[in-house]
Structure 1
Amino acid sequence: MDTSTAYPTSSSSMVQKTDSDGPYRLLYCSGKGNKWGVMQELEKGVEPNVGDYDKRTALHLAACEGCTEIVLLLLEKGADVNSTDRWGRTPLSDARSLGHLEICKILEAHGGLDPVALDSQTPSYWIHYSEVSMKGAILIGEGAYGEVYKVKWRGTEVAAKTIRSSIASNEKVRKAFLKELALWQKLRHPNIVQFLGVLKNSDRLIFLTEYLKNGSLYDILRKKGRLDALTAVSYALDIARGMNYLHHHKPHAIIHRDLTPRNVLQDEAGRLKVTDFGLSKIAQEKDVYGYKMTGGTGSYRYMAPEVYRRESYGKSVDVFSFALIVHEMFQGGPSNREEPPEHVADQRAYEDSRPPLSSYLYPEPVRMLLKKCWHRNPDVRPKFEEIITELENILENEQTKAGVGFCRTCGIL
């Protein structure tokens, strides 16, 4: 979905902040279950209750990911069991919504509360329509699935995404969408956009996500053009980490299927977050009813050959799209922007066409990585966890050349 073309973009948001990034390693290690890394950061004097932009603490992330040892360690070191994120969720809220029963017992034993707990018979993603006024909504984007508005919910600016009535009116599709939302409510990661809920009793199908006013990667590239290598690789790491989280979701991996620069947004801290994962999955179900997934969104330009050829496919389709996005960050935009997107997809699918990789613009390790990521054989493409490792090595080398520090564990400049 094109959700952010109307978002304002400030030049100050183009480069990630560096003056307060150290504590982010504690958050990263906590979410990954890296006990040694957590202990190392705490021994350095990092406060156990430090939060990210969303006010999510290390305890939130450990509880969300089911890292029991980390939860116990953080509580022992003085972590606030009832710290709340910007949406009013505590670590117990996250642990309970994801079914981590052992962690729930530990948090409750330490006085943990769940202020957002609802009746178990009511899906926790429902938000009563009276809590959001659409009358004062500001249109901020429009895409293949519907309009996107900026509204206020519980005093916080959020994005309200509407689904066109021509799509949502089909009962089978509506049920598929609500089933997908039940999955989204459990997702928590610093590099994916947070789903908040769906309006209940609304005459339209509207769901809420966090609002990122810095806009999309598409906006950034349109305004700034080609990014320097350090920024491009840092952004690539953000996207890869978000996608790796989705691909490792249990019990079933979440394949984005429509990963484009418009579906990557930037938060106030300068980090990128992936959004609108899963929507194209529902759109594919709508194909039966005459709805064309790609429409005018430009998705063809980032589509893996096997998808265009209507062959069976897996997680590697997102790796292909990711490679094209990284290529654009170094290039400043698509090299074939004058060509119709469907023509571009056709050439890639049937003529094995790929964008040029000038040695002037692309460091050799980046060139090699992109070639692997957009390989014609989906089985040869690397997984995102492998991509993250390679990007960390590339960024560390680039930082050494530039004389700038780099945290290898969390990829922070």
Structure 2
Amino acid sequence: MQVQKSDSDGPYRLLYCSGKGNKWGVMQELDKGVEPNVGDYDRRKALHLAACEGCTEIVLLLLEKGADVNSTDRWGRTPLSDARSLGHLEICKILEAHGGIDPVGLDSQTPCYQIHYSEVHMKGAILIGEGAFGEVYKVKWRGTEVAAKTIRSPIASNETVRKAFLKELAFWQTLRHPNIVQFLGVLKDSDRLIFLTEYLQNGSLYDILKKKGRLDPVTAVSYALDIARGMNYLHHHKPHAIIHRDLTPRNVLQDEAGRLKVTDFGLSKIAQEKDVYGYKMTGGTGSYRYMAPEVYRRESYGKSVDVFSFALIVHEMFQGRPSNREEPPEHVADKRAYEDSRPPLPSYYPERIRVLIKQCWHRNPDVRPKFEDIITELESILESEKRKVGIGFCHNCVIL
């Protein structure tokens, strides 16, 4: 059985702690010998994340420890670019005092970055999928393969709806995290609404499970950590938390480095608010299978709906397939909502995973743990599972 090498306690943790403003965690990783300039697949460094999140203490600490003030990510953005786009003026002054530059200039301060239609050749686009709102194509923009997501014309032609989408897309542009898909911009002067995101060629978690089936414990827990970290970032976003509302294996993508990233957060919120979309969160997307009971019952709900969905995704990674897949999705959701039905947890699941899953899909939303607590537990479980199979980790390995 092939096991994915995990680095939850290595360079990747430095990035996580930097974005969280966890000074003690950052110092701990640096004291272990982790270099301050390690990056993720998108070449985003700890300084990028700290600058983006307004973590002044972390920015000062990283600069003191030798972080490159002008390191650029895959999209040509420096820490100063990210600080400017979020309006963190104090951090901008600190970075500029250390020689920081902003190569993307006004792009970093544009509310919703508009890309001229002539820069993307949609005629040669390759269809790679279809979502609830429209088709998804692989195209090239400035020499890089990206994903172009189209919004169907009945939606795009409605001015009220179009404005709501553009407002949401502008909001996405402020988000920076290694475990969420990066929004790049929206095409202007087109007859349909199209926005660009990074392209992740390894497909979705749905594709992975369909191909591989049940995952080994180390890989499954590593993947769960990726999802939990991305969701924790969204849930802690200021000034308003971002509830995904449609967290499914299809909305979790894998990058070239094997990391998982959450995508399509926020779209279902607009759909729920605008009946004109002709889209329901419970529609043909398969969302019923991952839906929290309180959503199905049309009750008020909060962030814990994503925790419920997360539990079912974790269950599926250990199971290798969706539970009750022979039943219609709506029947599954109905039984969970009104009969408190849950999938079985076979004995081969690690005991601590069984306990965590039960907590996450608890019938009482207030009892479900928060993602920050889930992350702490998963990190501990991962260490335990790695010891069982004798996996070590080199702290100086760089994620590229």
Please tell me the TM-score bracket, short chain as reference.
Answer: over 0.9
User: Tell me, what secondary structure is at the counterpart of 1:380?
Assistant: coil
Note if 1:387 corresponds to 2:374. Answer: yes
Q: Would you say the 8 A contact 2:133–2:279 is kept in 1? A: no
CA drift at 1:124: 4.1
CA drift at 1:401: 2.0
Q: Which of 282, 285, 306 is the matching residue for 1:294?
A: 282
User: Tell me, what secondary structure is at the counterpart of 2:75?
Assistant: coil
User: Tell me, what secondary structure is at the counterpart of 2:240?
Assistant: coil
Q: Structure 1 length as normaliser, TM-score?
A: 0.91
Alpha-carbon distance in 1 for matches of 2:393, 2:88: 34
CA RMSD, Structure 1 to Structure 2 (Å)? 2.6
Q: Would you say the 8 A contact 1:118–1:124 is kept in 2? A: no
Note if 1:281 corresponds to 2:264. Answer: no
CA drift at 1:405: 3.1
Structure 1 residues 112-148: Cα deviation after superposition (integer angstroms, max 9, x where no partner) = 1112232799534211112111111100001211000
CA drift at 1:295: 2.3
CA drift at 1:404: 2.1
Q: Would you say the 8 A contact 2:82–2:108 is kept in 1? A: no
- Alignment CA distance shift 1:34-1:289 (3 Å): closer
Alpha-carbon distance in 2 for matches of 1:119, 1:274: 24
User: Tell me, what secondary structure is at the counterpart of 1:387?
Assistant: helix
- Alignment CA distance shift 1:406-1:304 (3 Å): farther
* Equivalent residue, structure 2, for 1:303: 291
Q: Would you say the 8 A contact 2:38–2:398 is kept in 1? A: no
Structure 1 residues 197-237: Cα deviation after superposition (integer angstroms, max 9, x where no partner) = 11111111100100000111000000000011111111111
* Equivalent residue, structure 2, for 1:132: 120
- Alignment CA distance shift 1:87-1:102 (3 Å): same
User: Tell me, what secondary structure is at the counterpart of 2:366?
Assistant: helix
- Alignment CA distance shift 1:407-1:321 (3 Å): farther
CA drift at 1:412: 11
Note if 1:402 corresponds to 2:389. Answer: yes
Q: How many residues align?
A: 399
User: Tell me, what secondary structure is at the counterpart of 2:60?
Assistant: helix
- Alignment CA distance shift 1:242-1:19 (3 Å): closer
CA drift at 1:410: 13
Alpha-carbon distance in 1 for matches of 2:345, 2:8: 35
Q: Would you say the 8 A contact 1:159–1:209 is kept in 2? A: yes
Alpha-carbon distance in 1 for matches of 2:109, 2:371: 37
Alpha-carbon distance in 2 for matches of 1:159, 1:270: 18
* Equivalent residue, structure 1, for 2:33: 45
Q: Would you say the 8 A contact 1:129–1:200 is kept in 2? A: yes
User: Tell me, what secondary structure is at the counterpart of 1:196?
Assistant: strand
CA drift at 1:27: 2.2
CA drift at 1:107: 0.8
Q: Would you say the 8 A contact 2:185–2:197 is kept in 1? A: yes
CA drift at 1:349: 1.0
CA drift at 1:288: 5.3
Q: Which of 181, 194, 209 is the matching residue for 2:197?
A: 209
Alpha-carbon distance in 2 for matches of 1:411, 1:347: 46
CA drift at 1:364: 1.5
Q: Structure 2 length as normaliser, TM-score?
A: 0.93
Identify which range, 381-390 or 21-30, moves more after superposition.
Answer: 21-30
Unaligned runs of 5+ in 1: 1-13
CA drift at 1:22: 3.6
- Alignment CA distance shift 1:409-1:296 (3 Å): farther
Alpha-carbon distance in 2 for matches of 1:224, 1:120: 40
Identify which range, 272-281 or 62-71, moves more after superposition.
Answer: 62-71
Alpha-carbon distance in 2 for matches of 1:17, 1:132: 37
CA drift at 1:299: 0.6
- Alignment CA distance shift 1:25-1:176 (3 Å): same
* Equivalent residue, structure 1, for 2:24: 36
Unaligned runs of 5+ in 2: none
- Alignment CA distance shift 1:189-1:333 (3 Å): same
* Equivalent residue, structure 1, for 2:156: 168
* Equivalent residue, structure 2, for 1:144: 132
Q: Would you say the 8 A contact 2:11–2:397 is kept in 1? A: no
CA drift at 1:351: 1.2
Alpha-carbon distance in 2 for matches of 1:93, 1:393: 35
Alpha-carbon distance in 2 for matches of 1:44, 1:15: 25
* Equivalent residue, structure 1, for 2:12: 24
User: Tell me, what secondary structure is at the counterpart of 1:333?
Assistant: coil
- Alignment CA distance shift 1:365-1:194 (3 Å): same
Alpha-carbon distance in 1 for matches of 2:335, 2:325: 14
Q: Would you say the 8 A contact 1:396–1:406 is kept in 2? A: no
- Alignment CA distance shift 1:86-1:347 (3 Å): same
User: Tell me, what secondary structure is at the counterpart of 2:108?
Assistant: coil
Structure 1 residues 292-311: Cα deviation after superposition (integer angstroms, max 9, x where no partner) = 33321101111111111111
Structure 1 residues 358-378: Cα deviation after superposition (integer angstroms, max 9, x where no partner) = 113x11111111111111111
Runs of 4+ in 1 over 4 A off after TM superposition: 17-21, 119-122, 406-413
Identify which range, 159-168 or 108-117, moves more after superposition.
Answer: 108-117
**1:253-292 to 2 correspondences below 5 Å:** 253-287=241-275, 290-292=278-280
Alpha-carbon distance in 2 for matches of 1:291, 1:213: 27
Identify which range, 284-293 or 163-172, moves more after superposition.
Answer: 284-293
Q: Would you say the 8 A contact 1:63–1:71 is kept in 2? A: yes
- Alignment CA distance shift 1:20-1:243 (3 Å): closer
Q: Would you say the 8 A contact 1:392–1:408 is kept in 2? A: no
CA drift at 1:189: 0.6
- Alignment CA distance shift 1:115-1:270 (3 Å): same
Alpha-carbon distance in 1 for matches of 2:295, 2:46: 38
CA drift at 1:46: 3.6
Identify which range, 399-408 or 318-327, moves more after superposition.
Answer: 399-408
**1:65-144 to 2 correspondences below 5 Å:** 65-118=53-106, 122-144=110-132
Identify which range, 105-114 or 74-83, moves more after superposition.
Answer: 74-83
Q: Would you say the 8 A contact 1:83–1:90 is kept in 2? A: yes
Alpha-carbon distance in 1 for matches of 2:277, 2:50: 42
- Alignment CA distance shift 1:300-1:188 (3 Å): same
CA drift at 1:287: 2.8
User: Tell me, what secondary structure is at the counterpart of 1:135?
Assistant: helix
CA drift at 1:318: 0.4
